[in-house]
């Protein structure tokens, strides 16, 4: 995905909704590049060695590379791919990628009484701003949908963006808490290896016992461990990967629905269309037309 940054003015009517989005985007910072890139509005620019204070929340997701986060209340945190972190309004902070690795980041900035109340109730705390969710296609797709929504700016788009932020926060909170319940690091490694294997095999007719064999675990144990870690069975997760790939192909290629179903190794176009509608609520044809 290409670098993409949006700044969004909010109005009094939008604020009544309880949550409004101020800024969002994606940027890839290559090793050795200056950070932050000189593409932001002046009020968002900062010197990482000095830090800054914002008047909004910002939720960032690092998908590649590593770096560091420093916050006034939380202290210093090593950030790696798979981490999300939440910046709080009025709190001095700084974050930056490791010059040797760079990083890829999605972010969305927002304000509102909805998030204030959750912070006041202790669901989110400046003392613990970092969350581990691993590589999560659902989170990436939510950020991308927010970026597309901001670009279109259709009537009442702020309300749609607010829904995406709420979804991101809920998914982050749930996934991080579930991950912290994992019994050991070995289980985490097994599941991450399995997810990477499925990612690389999304255009094949991969069977889940093959995945269990690949990671060296019997299928029943693997299925239970995978569901404990991700909240999905391996088969459901693999179907989700295929649907995400199908959506990208519907957006960016001229391949027919039948051709996409063949490329992604669905049993037939009808089964592909059924699964697509089950996961997205609309047919592949409706998705492409939108």
Percent of the chain past pLDDT 90, that is, above it, reads 70
Mean pLDDT of 164-173: 94
> Does the structure show a pLDDT above 70 at 182?
no
Q: Helix, strand, or coil here: 77?
A: strand
Side-chain-side CA neighbours of 146 within 13 Å: the count stands at 34
pLDDT for res 184? 64
Mean pLDDT of 266-275: 92
Could you identify the residue written with the tokens 């019997």? Answer: 218
pTM of this structure: 0.63
Model confidence pLDDT, tens digit, residues 49-84: 999 999 999 999 999 999 999 999 999 999 999 999
pLDDT for res 110? 95
> Does the structure show a pLDDT above 80 at 185?
no
- When comparing pLDDT for 1 and 7, which is higher? 7
CB count within 10 Å of CB 25 equals 20
Model confidence pLDDT, tens digit, residues 199-255: 999 999 999 999 999 999 899 889 988 988 888 899 999 999 999 999 999 999 999
| In contact, 51 and 70? CB cutoff 8 Å | yes
pLDDT for res 156? 87
N-term to C-term CA, the chain: 20
The whole-chain average pLDDT of the chain stands at: 90
| In contact, 194 and 226? CB cutoff 8 Å | yes
Q: How far is the C-alpha of 205 from the C-alpha of 248, rounded, in Å?
A: 19
Query: Residue 183's pLDDT band (boundaries 50, 70, 90)?
Result: low
Could you identify the residue written with the tokens 């998914």? Answer: 171
Query: Residue 2's pLDDT band (boundaries 50, 70, 90)?
Result: low
pLDDT for res 279? 86
pLDDT for res 28? 92
pLDDT for res 290? 80
Mean pLDDT of 181-210: 87
> Does the structure show a pLDDT above 80 at 14?
no
Query: DSSP secondary-structure letter at 237?
Result: H
**Residue 202: phi, psi to the nearest 5?**
-65, -25
- ω into 181 cis (within 30 of 0): no
Q: How far is the C-alpha of 95 from the C-alpha of 130, rounded, in Å?
A: 12
Cα distances (Å, whole numbers) of residue 38 to 151, 220, 263: 20, 51, 40
pLDDT for res 177? 78
Of 116, 103, 87, which Cα lies nearest the Cα of 32?
103
Q: How far is the C-alpha of 273 from the C-alpha of 258, rounded, in Å?
A: 9
Domains of the chain, start order:
4-180 (2.60.120.280), 185-289 (1.10.10.60)
Query: Residue 158's pLDDT band (boundaries 50, 70, 90)?
Result: very high
pLDDT for res 176? 84
> Does the structure show a pLDDT above 90 at 87?
yes
Percent of the chain past pLDDT 70, that is, above it, reads 97
């Amino acid at each position: 995905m290409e670098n993409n940054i949006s700044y969004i003015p909010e109005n009094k009517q939008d604020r009544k909704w309880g949550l409004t989005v101020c800024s969002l985007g994606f940027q890839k910072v290559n090793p050795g590049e200056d950070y932050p890139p000189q593409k932001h509005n002046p009020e968002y620019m900062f010197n990482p060695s000095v830090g800054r204070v914002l008047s909004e929340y910002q939720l960032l997701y690092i998908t590649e590379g590593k770096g560091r986060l420093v916050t006034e209340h939380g202290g210093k945190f090593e950030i790696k791919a798979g981490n999300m972190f939440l910046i709080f309004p009025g709190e001095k902070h700084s974050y930056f990628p490791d010059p040797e690795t760079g990083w890829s980041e999605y972010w969305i900035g927002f304000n509102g009484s909805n998030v204030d109340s959750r912070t006041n109730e202790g669901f989110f705390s400046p003392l613990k701003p970092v969350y581990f969710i691993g590589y999560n296609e659902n989170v990436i797709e939510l950020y991308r949908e927010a970026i597309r929504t901001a670009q279109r700016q259709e009537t009442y788009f702020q309300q749609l963006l607010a829904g995406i932020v709420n979804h991101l926060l809920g998914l982050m909170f749930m996934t991080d808490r579930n991950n912290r319940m994992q019994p050991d690091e070995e289980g985490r490694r097994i599941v991450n290896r399995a997810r990477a294997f499925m990612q690389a095999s999304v255009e094949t007719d991969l069977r889940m016992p093959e995945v269990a064999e690949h990671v060296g675990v019997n299928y029943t144990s693997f299925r239970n461990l995978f569901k404990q870690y991700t909240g999905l069975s391996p088969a459901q997760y693999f179907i989700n990967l295929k649907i995400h790939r199908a959506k990208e192909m519907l957006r960016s290629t001229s391949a027919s629905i039948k051709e996409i179903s063949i490329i992604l190794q669905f049993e037939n176009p009808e089964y592909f269309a059924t699964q697509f509608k089950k996961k997205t609520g609309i047919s592949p044809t409706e998705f492409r037309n939108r």
